[in-house]
């Protein structure tokens, strides 16, 4: 016969209603009682009927994760698995499942979010990006649907809870690292300027140059592919003076540029220094290992999930935003340069 709540209650010497509250993780049940009941559930092999639990609690126990781009691109970006691991770590503790958007276009992703909201298939959502004039953000605000954003919103800052780095400071720090190494001709290769993170990092790069009284900005605003990386490097190498260092806005971009530099027999860091952001194992294992800004992607994901769960448990909680610190990790992709431009 199947084990019932009454069987668990009898063995644990508590009321059946107490077992139900333990299953629902009710805050008024003591941790000691929860542990005792859960131990008995495990001993008896009792598994709660999750569907019944969801019907009673009016909760899906599921969190929606909204990616900024297609599945293929997201899974290639080292930031995504690290942030997802952080979210999963917290949500597993709280017994939530995860539902990912899988669309290959902005329109697909928007339709998926509409279905999640209207179908009540998730209790709340985490947006992994912030961009200008985003219909997904507008939808969630109009529906008063619980969500947290990874990234500083470009609008509605008074209404949105978010977790982010100080990306202006982070870019300023990595650019300043190159300046202190003697570089004065530094190129910045950024991504789609619709996204707030790219705008902030470009601003940090500009601030560092201005503080050092360096007048020459070398900006490339594009999504880098293998082919466009070659074009970008060719364009840089035709400049006079040509850049001796590059700041890239993400690791995929850095890898593409490293490949293009290698094909053109340009050595890193002997001919040009390369730096980037995120600091996943990709940077550590690249050749040469990349100097990066560690944005602590795991922590960004963890804090976003924690903030959302707190919001679901306390809908009237005071709005809060969290800034996760960054740090420059120095490796072998940069060298000091002399006043006459020679690599030391």
Q: Looking at the chain, list the stretches that DSSP marks H as alpha helix, in order from N- to C-terminal side.
A: 5-12, 16-23, 31-44, 50-57, 71-76, 79-93, 106-119, 135-142, 167-180, 196-211, 226-237, 251-263, 281-285, 297-313
Identify the domain containing residue 94 by its residue range. 62-165+297-313
Domain count, the chain: 3
- Within 8 A by CB and 6+ apart from 277, the residues are 170, 171, 174, 201, 248, 249, 250, 251, 292, 293, 295
CATH number for 9: 1.10.260.40
Report in angstroms the alpha-carbon separations of 243 from 59, 125, 145, 225. Answer: 55, 42, 47, 20
Residues 13 and 29 in one domain: yes
Residues 218 and 231 in one domain: yes
Residues 82 and 161 in one domain: yes
- Within 8 A by CB and 6+ apart from 73, the residues are none
pTM above 0.75, yes or no: yes
Instruction: Give the separation between CA 69 and CA 248, rounded to whole angstroms.
Output: 19
Structural domain contains residue 257: yes
Residues 14 and 45 in one domain: yes
Q: Are 199 and 235 in contact (CB under 8 A)?
A: no
Per-residue pLDDT of the chain (344 residues; tens, 9 = 90+): 678 888 999 999 999 889 888 877 777 889 999 999 999 988 988 877 655 566 555 678 899 999 987 556 667 889 999 999 999 999 999 889 999 998 888 899 999 999 999 988 999 999 999 999 999 999 999 999 999 999 999 888 899 999 999 999 999 999 999 999 999 999 999 988 889 999 999 999 999 999 999 998 999 987 778 888 999 999 999 999 999 999 999 999 999 999 999 999 999 999 999 999 999 999 999 999 999 999 999 999 999 999 999 999 998 888 889 999 999 999 999 999 876 555 55
């Amino acid at each position: 016969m199947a084990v019932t709540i009454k069987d668990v209650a009898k063995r644990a010497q508590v009321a059946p209603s107490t077992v139900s509250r333990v299953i629902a993780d009710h805050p008024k049940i003591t941790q000691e009682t929860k542990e005792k009941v859960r131990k008995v559930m495990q001993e008896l092999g009792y598994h709660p009927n999750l569907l019944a639990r969801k019907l009673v609690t009016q909760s899906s126990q599921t969190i929606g994760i909204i990616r900024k781009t297609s599945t293929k691109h997201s899974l290639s970006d080292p930031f995504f698995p690290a942030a997802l691991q952080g979210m999963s770590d917290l949500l597993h503790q709280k017994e939530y499942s995860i539902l990912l958007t899988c669309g290959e276009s902005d329109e697909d992703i928007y339709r998926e979010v509409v279905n999640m909201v209207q179908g009540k298939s998730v209790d709340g959502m985490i947006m992994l990006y912030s961009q200008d004039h985003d219909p997904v953000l507008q939808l969630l605000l109009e529906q008063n649907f619980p969500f947290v954003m990874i990234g500083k919103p470009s609008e509605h800052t008074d209404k949105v809870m978010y977790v982010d780095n100080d990306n202006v400071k982070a870019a300023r720090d990595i650019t300043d690292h190159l300046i202190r190494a003697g570089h004065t001709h530094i190129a910045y290769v950024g991504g789609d300027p619709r996204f707030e993170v790219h705008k902030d990092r470009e601003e940090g790069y500009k601030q560092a140059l201005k503080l050092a009284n360096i007048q020459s900005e070398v900006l490339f605003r594009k999504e880098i592919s293998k082919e466009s990386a070659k074009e970008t490097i060719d364009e840089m190498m035709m400049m006079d003076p040509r850049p001796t260092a590059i700041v890239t806005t993400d690791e995929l971009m850095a890898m593409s540029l490293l490949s293009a530099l290698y094909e053109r027999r340009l050595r890193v860091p002997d001919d040009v220094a390369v730096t980037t952001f995120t600091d996943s194992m990709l940077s550590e294992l690249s050749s040469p290992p990349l100097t990066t800004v560690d944005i602590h992607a795991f922590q960004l994901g963890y804090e976003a999930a924690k903030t959302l769960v707190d919001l679901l448990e306390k809908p009237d909680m005071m709005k809060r935003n969290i800034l996760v610190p960054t740090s420059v990790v120095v490796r072998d992709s940069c060298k000091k340069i002399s006043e006459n431009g020679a690599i030391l």
